[in-house]
Copies of this chain bind each other. A is one copy, B any other.
Amino acid sequence: MGLIVMKFGGSSVANAERVRNVASIIIDSYKKGNDVVAVVSAQGDTTDDLIEKAAEINPKASKREMDSLLSAGEQMSSALLAMAIEAEGYPVVSLLGWQAGFKTDNVHGSARIKTVQPERLKNEIGKRNIVIVAGFQGLNSFDDITTLGRGGSDTSAVAIAAALHADRCQIYTDVEGVYTADPRKIGNAKKLAEITYDEMLELATLGAQVLNNRSVEMAKKYNVEVEVLSSLKRVPGTIVKEVAKMEKMLIRGVTKDTDVARISVIGVPNTPGIAFKLFAKLAAKNINVDIILQSVGRNDTKDITFTVAKANGELAVSIIKESFDLADESIICDTSVAKISVVGAGMETHPGTASKMFEALYEKDINIQMISTSEIKISVLIDIEQADKAVAAVHKAFFPED
C-alpha cells in the first residue's frame, strides 16, 4: 500500500480496448489499497494529426497556439480514461495540467516545469479518488497553456511523484523494461531488474528509446524511484534508482545511436584558443557537440573532428566556414556513422572493459573512427553499415550466450 504514480503513453491508450486495459491496470493497483495518480499521453496518432491540421492552416503557427491546440489531445485521452474507470464503478476524476498544479516557464513547445502545486491532487487523493492527469502540459505565468515537448508525459509523471513524495513512479510502455541491448535485434538481450539514474541517462542519451532524459534527470534530482514496465504484459519491469544491485553484471547495456554526424575540420591555424572559439560559435547556436578529437596537422595547422546530431550537421558546417574562412574541401561532414556504446557504473573499476569491447570489434573487422569514455560508458564511432554487427559482437562479448 502506498502512493503510486503511473504514466501511460499514447500507444497504451490508442483505442477503446487499450483504454479499458489501462483502466484495469489502474484499478488493480487501487484495489490493493494504493492511492493512484495516472498520467496519460494523447491517444495514438492524435498529436501528429493535430500538427498536420495546423500545418494545413498555417505552417508557421505560433508555438503558443500550437500548445493550446496540442494540449487538447491529452485533455481528450484523460477524460476517456476516467470514463473507462467510471464504467467499472470506481471513483475517479481527470485533471488537466493546470488543474493538477503544473506551473512552467514561458517557453512554449518545450516548457520546463517550475513547480507542481499539489493541493488539488492531494485533495482528490484524500477523497480516495483515482486521479487521471493530462500529461505533457502546464500553465505559464501568463495563465497560458504550455507543453513540455517530446517525452513530456514522462516528466509530468516524475514531477507529480516528486511533489507528492510517491512511493514509486511507474512508466508503462510497449517494452517490458530496460534491456542490455535492443531485444528486437539481439536475441539474448537481458532485461535488467535494476539500474542507476546515471546509467539510465547514458542509455537514454545513447539511443535506448525507453525513458525521456529530462524525466530521468528529474527522478535523480528528487530521488524518485522509477519503474519501466509493459502495459500489455503484467510482469515486473526495470527499476531505476540511486543505488542498484549489481547482479554480477559489469555492463548494463550495449546501445546504438545513428543520429550522429561526424564533422572534420582540416587545417585550422595551430594557435591557442582555436578549439575554444570554434566550439563557442557552435554553442551560441545551441549545437551540442559530443565526441571531440584533435590532432596536430601538417605545418602550422591542426585538424579537429567532432560529432553533432545529424540535424545540426549542415548548420555546423556553415557556421565554421563563415567563422574561419576555410575552403569547402577543408570541412567534411559524414553522416554515415553510428555510435556504439557500452554502459555500466561498474566499469570504472574494471580496466578490462575497453579492451574487451575493442577486441570484439577487431575480431569482426570493424574499424573504430573515434573513441570517447566517461566513468560509466565507452563509446566508439564506426561506419553505420557495421552498426548492427558491432552491437551483436560487443553484446556477445559481455553477455555470452547462455
Q: Name A residues whose Cβ lies closer than 8 Å to a Cβ of B.
A: 16, 19-20, 50, 53-54, 56-58, 60-62, 64-66, 68-69, 71-72, 75-76, 78-80, 82-84, 86-87, 93-94, 96, 99, 120, 143-145
**Inter-chain contacts of A76 with B (CB < 8 A):** 50, 53, 69, 72
Q: Check if B61 sits within 8 Å of A83, measured CB to CB.
A: yes
Q: Which of B54, B79, B84, B120 contacts A68 (CB 8 A)?
A: B79
Interface SS of A by simple majority: helix
Separation of A94 and B145 alpha carbons in the complex (Å):
11
Q: Check if B87 sits within 8 Å of A68, measured CB to CB.
A: no
**Inter-chain contacts of A53 with B (CB < 8 A):** 16, 76, 80
Q: Check if A86 sits within 8 Å of B62, measured CB to CB.
A: yes
Known: A76-B50, A80-B53, A80-B54. A86 touches B61 (CB 8 A): yes
Q: How many copies altogether?
A: 2
Shortest distance between the CB of A81 and any CB in chain B (Å): 8
Residue of B nearest to A70 (CB): B79
Of the candidates A16, A75, A83, A96, the one having the most CB atoms from chain B within 10 angstroms of its own CB is A83
Separation of A19 and B143 alpha carbons in the complex (Å):
26
Residue of B nearest to A80 (CB): B57
**Inter-chain contacts of A80 with B (CB < 8 A):** 53-54, 57, 69
14 more CB-based (< 8 A) A-B contacts, given A16-B56, A62-B83, A72-B72: A50-B76, A54-B79, A57-B87, A61-B87, A65-B94, A68-B79, A68-B94, A69-B75, A69-B76, A69-B79, A69-B80, A69-B83, A72-B76, A99-B143
